[in-house]
Amino acid sequence: MKQFTKVFKFEFLNIIKSKAFIFLTLILFIGTTVVLFYPRFTEGKKSSSAGESKPTKLAVFDSSGALGEYIKEGMTSYEVTLCKTEKEADALLADETVDASVVITSPLSYIYSVNDMGLYDETSNVINELLQLKYRETRLAEFGLTESQIAEIQSAVAVPEYKIVGNDQSQSFLYTYILMFMLYISVITYGQMIAQSVATEKSSRAMELLITSAKPDSLIFGKVLGTGFAGLSQMLIVLLWAVVCYRINAPYWEDNFFVASIFDMPLSLIAYTLVFFILGFLIYAFLYGALGSLASKMEDIGTLTTPLTFVMIIAFMVPIMSISSGKVDSAVMKILSFIPFCSPMAMFARIAMSSVNPVHIAISIAILVLSNIGIGYIAVLIYRMGILMYGKPPKFTQVLKQLKK
């Protein structure tokens, strides 16, 4: 235990004091601060410039003469010019006196002409709504209804009452994606860091001195847990700072449903985040450390860890595509929820975005725990064997034969 504590402390302090760790943490702090404080500094500018913005200029020609005035009255945020002929409307658009022209050809059809269609041009939608309202009003009047009765019919809207028994996927999608992405980045970044650290010690012959003063299991467990705790600490610090920034600027985000949903996560989901983050990280970190011990030089790391990295990418991409398509409880996701390499992502996504049987959650976590114990034991065996092997990295079949011995 004393050896493990020394290795753990050394690895943890070595990482948090590194320039890369400090730089990345500062970048995350600055990025979080800028994003969450952004509305506070832009709201005043938006409000002051809103009054100076000119309405869109519109030329309207109505062959019947009955709809032109109606459209002009309804489009209060536009500067509408009524034209006597279609050619006049086209001429105003041609010399850029107006931004667009509308030629009404029937009660429900028109020609909308514009030089350059903007990405957020909503003018045609406004005209569509006005023409539809006028058409309904005219047809209802033919049945002898009064203006008040017509207004009552046209203003009627459906008012749904939502009763959500499980989870609201629209509310949980964003923070589920963010937390899964953080786990993915942590595993890839710190897993590679563990493998490189082991390979560096081995290539510099420092490993031969280390194994004479500490047991292999203390070395790999201390290295994996020390690195993992450093990564977890970084994630928690950044998330806590994000919460502080959000609380300071909460009034400026109250109209943003997605951002508000991130900081209204249920406490139970936060607990599941920690459980699956820790177990998911460890199961990959042990393997990265074991594979790193098989490398004799830094160039071998990429070749040895690529298959494991591909497994992690697949374990990340399948749940991401499932939650994006709304099929978070598909048969594939249910199967992946009980496979140790995939369950940290798959089961977490299902918990966050659907209703999962608590028994299934317990089984998935139990499998992960047992898998960590088993893979940790195998990692120690590979590590014990690999740290004294030099030359070309052994093949997978050779590693299996050595493990049997």
**For residue range 36-70, what is the model confidence (pLDDT) as tens digits?**
888 877 765 544 444 444 458 888 898 777 788 88
The residue with tokens 């996927």 is 169
Average pLDDT over residues 335-345: 91
Residues sharing a CB contact under 8 Å with residue 338, sequence separation 6 or more, in sequence order? 347, 363, 364, 367
C-alpha 68/C-alpha 397 separation (Å) is 82
Q: What domains can you pick out in the chain, each with its CATH number?
A: 57-154 (3.40.190.10), 167-404 (no CATH)
C-alpha 61/C-alpha 152 separation (Å) is 30
Cβ neighbours of 167 (radius 10 Å): 19
Q: What is the pLDDT of residue 120?
A: 67
C-alpha 38/C-alpha 85 separation (Å) is 48
Note the pTM of the prediction, 2 decimals.
Answer: 0.65
| Tokens linked to 378 | 């195998």
Please give the helix or strand (H or E) that residue 102 lies within, else none: strand 100-106
Can you state the angle between helices 358-386 and 267-293, rounded to 10 degrees?
Answer: 20
Give the range among 92-96, 100-104, 188-192, 330-334 with minimum mean pLDDT. 188-192
Q: Evaluate whether 378 touches 205 at the Cβ level (below 8 Å).
A: no
Buried b (16+ CB within 10 A) or exposed e, 259-290: bebbbebeeebeebbebbbbbbbbbbbbbbbb
Q: Evaluate whether 174 touches 262 at the Cβ level (below 8 Å).
A: yes
Cβ neighbours of 161 (radius 10 Å): 4
Q: Evaluate whether 58 touches 80 at the Cβ level (below 8 Å).
A: yes
* Integer angstrom CA distances of residue 81 from 56, 60, 97, 98: 11, 6, 10, 9
| Tokens linked to 139 | 């047809």
Residue 205 — pLDDT band, cuts 50, 70, 90? low
Q: What is the pLDDT of residue 212?
A: 56
Residue 101 is classified by DSSP as E
Higher-confidence residue of 165 and 338: namely 338
Mean pLDDT across the chain: 80
Q: What is the pLDDT of residue 49?
A: 42
320: exposed, middle or buried (C-beta count within 10 Å: 0-12, 13-18, 19+)?
A: middle
User: Residue 211: is its pLDDT beyond 60?
Assistant: no
Q: What is the pLDDT of residue 215?
A: 73
Give the range among 212-216, 282-286, 323-327 with minimum mean pLDDT. 212-216
Q: What are phi and psi of 104, to 5 degrees?
A: -85, 120
Residues sharing a CB contact under 8 Å with residue 238, sequence separation 6 or more, in sequence order? 25, 28, 29, 32
C-alpha 99/C-alpha 54 separation (Å) is 12
Q: What is the pLDDT of residue 46?
A: 47
C-alpha 211/C-alpha 201 separation (Å) is 11
Residue 207 — pLDDT band, cuts 50, 70, 90? low
User: Residue 278: is its pLDDT beyond 80?
Assistant: yes
Q: By C-alpha distance, which of 293, 285, 221 is closest to 6?
A: 221
Average pLDDT over residues 293-311: 80
Q: What is the pLDDT of residue 50?
A: 41
